[in-house]
Structure 1
Amino acid sequence: MTQPPPPPPNQPPQQGGFGPPQDQPPQQPGFGAPQQPGYGYPQAPGAPQTPPPPPPQQPGYGYPQAPPQGQPPQAPPTPPGYGYPGQQPNPYGQQPPNPYGQQPGYGYQQPTVPLQPQAGQPAGGRKMNAQLVIIVAAVVAIALIVGGGIWYASSGKGDDKKDPELSSAGPTGGGDDKSDTGGTSSKGEEKVPANTSSEVLFQVPEPKVDDSTVVSGSWLTDKAYVKSGVAEINGYDPDKGTKLWTIKLPGPVCEASDHTTADNRTAIVFQPKMPPKNSSAGCSQVAAIDLDAGKKLWTKTVNSGDRPIGLDNVTVSGDTVAVGSTSGGAAWDITSGKSLWAPKPTDTCYDAGYGGGEKLVAVRKCGSYDQRQLHIQTIDPKTGKVISEYKMTSGIEYASVVSTNPLVVAADVGDSAGDGSGISDFFSIDNKTGKLITRISAPGDQYAARCDGITRIEACNGLAVGNGKLYIPTEEHDGTGQYSRTNEIVAFDLATGKQTGQRADAGDGYTITPLRMDGGNVLAYKRPPYDKGGQIVTIDGGSFKETKLLENPATESVRDAESSMSPDYSEILYSQGHLYMSGVYADKSSSSSSDKEYLALAFGTSG
């Protein structure tokens, strides 16, 4: 089996998590599985599809490390760009086959390596020298050659009790009090709690697996916090973490839609069985899930002849579930499972996938490999009829749907981003006419949002769209404090393509990432320095004034667990004083690590 080149030897391992085993886990605070083959390659028709992996997270992302006494701090190594290894696709758009039907997905992180703090260095701020980095990279490379796949082992059973080691006692995150204005944020539903200091509500332990397994998908309703586990989906009490229900699946989840219907229904793609070693079960099954009732409503496949095809995209728009791939797609009613329509492939065109939400948008690929043209089509969710179409410049191979209303698409034009983020430009498009409104240049060395449009149409994070604006974070840069790093959120006008002049500063030692819109406000997560807890803030869409909504404990065990959930590669949900952080990969635990690893963490305020 052809393997892509291993990652460069400059990536430190991630810190371990913190917390008690609980019934079922989603993502990987246990971060750390070797990368699988095929990452960064377009998938071949009919090949099983799964979310491609982001690069491993460096332990200090957003965490300025405390320097050893008498020594200046070492600059953290630069991680490889999102999309590494970055090889050019072959003329057939094929990806080297993955024997397990999955590749490390969005949320992938490096194996945990226990690091001892240097003399005079706070235990919370860990460093690693260049030699150790090389050793870790070599271990990962060997694992790539030897393992090269994903398989399943029974997950461990835990209880619903809070981990006593995850104490919330001690100082809270502190941070810049200038952002804590109090009162109620305007034009949004999120209210400022009387006490913004949070405590650990519960944690879901990482399941025991033999190798990396996809567990992408997390949702929040009034009744449950829902998270994918290993070949199952679990609903938890939002406050207590008690398991409410479990939907068993025959194989691992491959893709999960972020979008839900008004009555909390969504859709997933999963494998029909647990893939044994050196084989693939394929990501061919589509299911609709009722998140409140904890029920699987129906299961479907898209067949080519008498065989189901592999799918790499699933989304929800209105009451329609749409799936796509290089080999075909389909759409069904989310309640009944009734077939609604299917894309019409031709000799030169096919629907690569769909973006959902308020509208349904198809990314249709036309032409030969060396003369590719992408058609961005707004379509009727019920009939599949094309409402409007924008034809992108020939030569742009991949595009991601950032928002369907307003319609915003991201692309790496001419591979010019340079950082593997998948974004060099954003395109603001009129849904009704299909005309380009404006093109926004966002050089990869200046802005930190990321998209993976190689095989997944909806795979952008670290940005928000609303108020006729695009909100994206800048790359990290030196702060005003000694050894500090920081960044900002800036706004672009979707009508003119120009910056509005609005800027929300993270504060020294913090890095800020947009999560979503809350009415006219921007909801953002502030990743803290080594000695603070993370924060959720709301940014007024007009004044850009920041208001703190939640601040996590600054105790070492909590900080270590929170730091394993990078906003770049984790699922972060916030609502009404409740913060849920989870991973999208369950990884094999390191026998040499004593750090506890979690797939989901829940925090809540008391006011």
Structure 2
Amino acid sequence: MTQPPPPPPNQPPQQGGFGPPQPPQPPPQQPGYGYPHAPQPPQAPPQQSGYGYPGRQPNPYAQQPTAYGQPGYGYPGQPTMPMQPQPGQPGGGGRKTNTSLVIVVSALVAIALIIGGGVWYAKSGRGDGKQDTAGSSGGGKGGTGGTSSGGKEKVPADTASDVLFKVPLPKANDTVVTSGSWITDKVYAKSGVARITGYDPGDGSELWTVALPGPVCAAANHVTSDGLTAVTFQPKMPKKGSSEGCSQVAAIDLNAGKRLWTKSVDSGDRAIGLDNVTVAQSTVAVGSTSGGAAFDITSGKVLWQPKPSDSCYDAGYGGGEKLVAVRKCSDRDSRQLHIQTIDPTSGKVISEYKMSEGIEYASVVSTDPLVVAADVGDSAGDGSGVSDYFSIDNRTGKLRTRIAAPSDSYGGHCDGITRVEFCQGIVVGNDRLYVPTEEKEGSDKFSRTNEIVAFDLATGKQTGQRADAGDGYTIHPVRMDGGNLIAYKRPPYDKGGQVVSIAGGSFKETKLLENPATGPGHEAETRMGPDSAEILFSRGRLYMSAVYAHKPDSTNGDEYLVVAFGTGN
């Protein structure tokens, strides 16, 4: 299942736009996400398609950058074949580690990072190793309306929000990946063009900038308790139509605004491309078809390395509280995926589940509890990468249950081809799997809506819990907040988006935030669809950000790297 290249930056998506359905004559744009292709009264003005605003295509993620960046600009479109075992070397699925990995340390790590006219030398201790997924650090002072049951997010007295800040989309001569956004107690951080910038979470003032020699390729989804994360990036800015390879990995101190170290993994006479990066406890793990490694997140010390002479290789890792490898093993007759829970510090295999032969790719949805998604037999048919979910016991490696999720009934997307830990619209918590249903017609023939449903990870059966989006809205799981599920509601053209907290037991929805229905803030929100942008919600604030920049085009109107909303109480 390949991913085609994105549309040229100076051309809007074929079905983008946001606004009421268009007149019957060919309009400048087709109806936007969640709208049917049907004529509407001519008095409705045509709206411009927004950057990052997806069309209703079989695979809305086909326009997304891969871990290498954008296909068609010197990036590989398919994973290369794994290294074959050398004569006399054993095969099999066991992990062999080799701590004699040759590490190429970038000379740039010795250069002090100039930030806002000053130099940051702040240090950060490792802490207790606990961590939150991106955007999950809730709490803080809220409004007077109380607290939603089981979570840290406050219910404000007034849920109406305003735009807190907007960051313009950076200019680029080519399509450039800007994946990566994180939130800590002190900072909201976002990748730009060959840089990561930290912003004040409330007013968006720049706190620091970490310059990188080349564009970001992939960003870890997780942040340690003391604000550390990791990215992979190119060693220098590529020429148009080419790539320098995603060979560099770095740890970033988000609170201090500092690059802690930069490393690469050497294979013979070259540094290999790194498809995936994650953080688990105090370990940074990178993997690819050509090899990988694990580093201490604070020091950059090599902890372990999968041995490249095996007939198996680690395609990538899922992080968080635990570390899980998707390991591909092959012989002359078959290929098989091994889902391994491993010790982050030693690389030792704790448990292993072998998926059925013929499943080519898998994505790690959650490591604790362990849930893996796969498109079995390419049966999804919509490019979503998901036909089934596998609930696996971390301790024993035994399959708890398998959940069928046919694409004509359920939404959500995973990219297990190059990004093992990339799933959107799917959340795990309370030993439940929360997924959106596919869209359906609302009460008006031109409106769309859907629901979120829950599956029990022990039995594989639906729990009967359903959260309705409301007419004209579509609802998308974002993250857990204690025992509650945080979800974003994509609005109809004449309303603002909402963030709601869904109680884990009753599934009662509590509104936490509602965005403006008109004005610049509304326009900015419509350009950041939940299936084409990064969405974080923390302490009553909603952050929406773009995943790539491109050459400026005046026909697209104002475009933003970040749009943030908050209630102000």
- Please report the TM-score for the alignment, with normalisation by the length of structure 1: 0.74
Q: Partner residue of 2:421?
A: 458
Q: Partner residue of 2:221?
A: 258
Report if aligned partners of 2:17, 2:32 keep a CA contact under 8 Å in 1.
Answer: no
Report if aligned partners of 1:488, 1:503 keep a CA contact under 8 Å in 2.
Answer: yes
1:422 aligns with 2:394: no
Give 3-state SS (helix, strand or coil) of 1:561's partner: helix
Work out the CA distance in 2 between the residues paired with 1:6 and 1:488. 29
Work out the CA distance in 1 between the residues paired with 2:55 and 2:431. 37
1:597 aligns with 2:568: no
Given candidates 266, 282, 301, the residue that maps to 1:338 is: 301
Partner amino acid, structure 1, of 2:150 = K
**What displacement does 1:476 show?**
0.5
**What displacement does 1:561 show?**
1.3
Q: Partner residue of 1:80?
A: 58
1:548 aligns with 2:538: no
Q: Partner residue of 1:12?
A: 14
Greater RCO structure (CA 8 Å; 6+ sep): 1
Distance 1:71 1:231, change over 3 A: closer
Q: Partner residue of 2:360?
A: 397
Work out the CA distance in 1 between the residues paired with 2:459 and 2:262. 44
1:533 aligns with 2:502: no
Distance 1:59 1:72, change over 3 A: closer
What are the Cα deviations for residues 342-385 of structure 1, in whole angstroms up to 9, with x where unaligned? 01234421111100001000000001486210000000000000
Report if aligned partners of 1:66, 1:530 keep a CA contact under 8 Å in 2.
Answer: no
Q: Partner residue of 2:34?
A: 62
Report if aligned partners of 1:11, 1:79 keep a CA contact under 8 Å in 2.
Answer: no
What are the Cα deviations for residues 47-94 of structure 1, in whole angstroms up to 9, with x where unaligned? xxxxxxxxxx976213579963389999x9741325659xxxxxxxx9
Work out the CA distance in 2 between the residues paired with 1:377 and 1:470. 20
Partner amino acid, structure 2, of 1:261 = T
Report if aligned partners of 2:15, 2:32 keep a CA contact under 8 Å in 1.
Answer: no
**What displacement does 1:238 show?**
1.0
Work out the CA distance in 2 between the residues paired with 1:73 and 1:426. 43
1:214 aligns with 2:184: no
Give 3-state SS (helix, strand or coil) of 2:386's partner: coil
Work out the CA distance in 2 between the residues paired with 1:73 and 1:370. 59
What are the Cα deviations for residues 454-508 of structure 1, in whole angstroms up to 9, with x where unaligned? 1110010101101110000001001123422100000000000010110000000
Q: Partner residue of 1:228?
A: 191
Given candidates 310, 313, 317, the residue that maps to 2:276 is: 313
Q: Partner residue of 2:138?
A: none
Report if aligned partners of 2:18, 2:32 keep a CA contact under 8 Å in 1.
Answer: no
1:190 aligns with 2:168: no
Q: Partner residue of 2:136?
A: none
Work out the CA distance in 1 between the residues paired with 2:487 and 2:263. 37
Given candidates 430, 448, 454, the residue that maps to 1:485 is: 448
Partner amino acid, structure 2, of 1:12 = Q
Work out the CA distance in 2 between the residues paired with 1:198 and 1:506. 19
What are the Cα deviations for residues 129-156 of structure 1, in whole angstroms up to 9, with x where unaligned? xxxxxxxxxxxxxxxxxxxxxxxxxxxx
Distance 1:78 1:369, change over 3 A: farther
What are the Cα deviations for residues 244-272 of structure 1, in whole angstroms up to 9, with x where unaligned? 10000000000000101110100000000
Partner amino acid, structure 1, of 2:387 = S
Work out the CA distance in 1 between the residues paired with 2:43 and 2:348. 64
Partner amino acid, structure 1, of 2:308 = P
Work out the CA distance in 2 between the residues paired with 1:599 and 1:58. 24
Work out the CA distance in 2 between the residues paired with 1:480 and 1:504. 17
Report if aligned partners of 2:440, 2:448 keep a CA contact under 8 Å in 1.
Answer: yes
Report if aligned partners of 2:15, 2:55 keep a CA contact under 8 Å in 1.
Answer: no
Work out the CA distance in 2 between the residues paired with 1:405 and 1:186. 22
Work out the CA distance in 2 between the residues paired with 1:439 and 1:4. 30
Give 3-state SS (helix, strand or coil) of 2:465's partner: strand
Work out the CA distance in 2 between the residues paired with 1:439 and 1:60. 34
Work out the CA distance in 2 between the residues paired with 1:313 and 1:305. 20
Work out the CA distance in 1 between the residues paired with 2:42 and 2:558. 32
Q: Partner residue of 1:470?
A: 433
- Alignment RMSD, CA only? 3.0
Partner amino acid, structure 2, of 1:397 = E
What are the Cα deviations for residues 523-561 of structure 1, in whole angstroms up to 9, with x where unaligned? 000000000000000000000000000000111432221
Work out the CA distance in 1 between the residues paired with 2:164 and 2:5. 41
Distance 1:214 1:58, change over 3 A: farther
Percent identity of equivalent pairs: 70
**What displacement does 1:418 show?**
1.0
Partner amino acid, structure 1, of 2:525 = E
Q: Partner residue of 1:136?
A: none
Partner amino acid, structure 2, of 1:428 = S
**What displacement does 1:443 show?**
0.3
Work out the CA distance in 2 between the residues paired with 1:252 and 1:99. 13
Report if aligned partners of 1:15, 1:560 keep a CA contact under 8 Å in 2.
Answer: no
Work out the CA distance in 2 between the residues paired with 1:472 and 1:460. 11
Distance 1:410 1:557, change over 3 A: same
Work out the CA distance in 1 between the residues paired with 2:479 and 2:263. 31
Q: Partner residue of 1:499?
A: 462
**Which runs of structure 2 are paired with 1:125-524 in the superposition (5 Å)?**
183-368=146-331, 371-524=334-487
Partner amino acid, structure 2, of 1:601 = V
Work out the CA distance in 1 between the residues paired with 2:13 and 2:229. 36
**What displacement does 1:103 show?**
7.5
Report if aligned partners of 1:209, 1:586 keep a CA contact under 8 Å in 2.
Answer: yes
Greater Cα shift, 478-487 or 407-416: 478-487
Distance 1:407 1:58, change over 3 A: farther
Distance 1:77 1:287, change over 3 A: closer
Partner amino acid, structure 1, of 2:233 = F
What are the Cα deviations for residues 411-458 of structure 1, in whole angstroms up to 9, with x where unaligned? 000000111100000000000000000000000111111000011100
Work out the CA distance in 2 between the residues paired with 1:4 and 1:557. 32
Give 3-state SS (helix, strand or coil) of 1:377's partner: strand
Report if aligned partners of 2:441, 2:449 keep a CA contact under 8 Å in 1.
Answer: yes
1:582 aligns with 2:554: no
Q: Partner residue of 2:111?
A: none
Partner amino acid, structure 1, of 2:187 = A
Give 3-state SS (helix, strand or coil) of 1:422's partner: coil
Distance 1:464 1:566, change over 3 A: same
**What displacement does 1:101 show?**
4.0
- Please report the TM-score for the alignment, with normalisation by the length of structure 2: 0.79
Give 3-state SS (helix, strand or coil) of 2:203's partner: coil
Distance 1:525 1:278, change over 3 A: closer
Distance 1:585 1:3, change over 3 A: closer
Q: Which runs of 5+ in 2 are unaligned?
A: 20-28, 47-53, 79-144
Q: Which runs of 5+ in 1 are unaligned?
A: 18-56, 86-93, 105-181
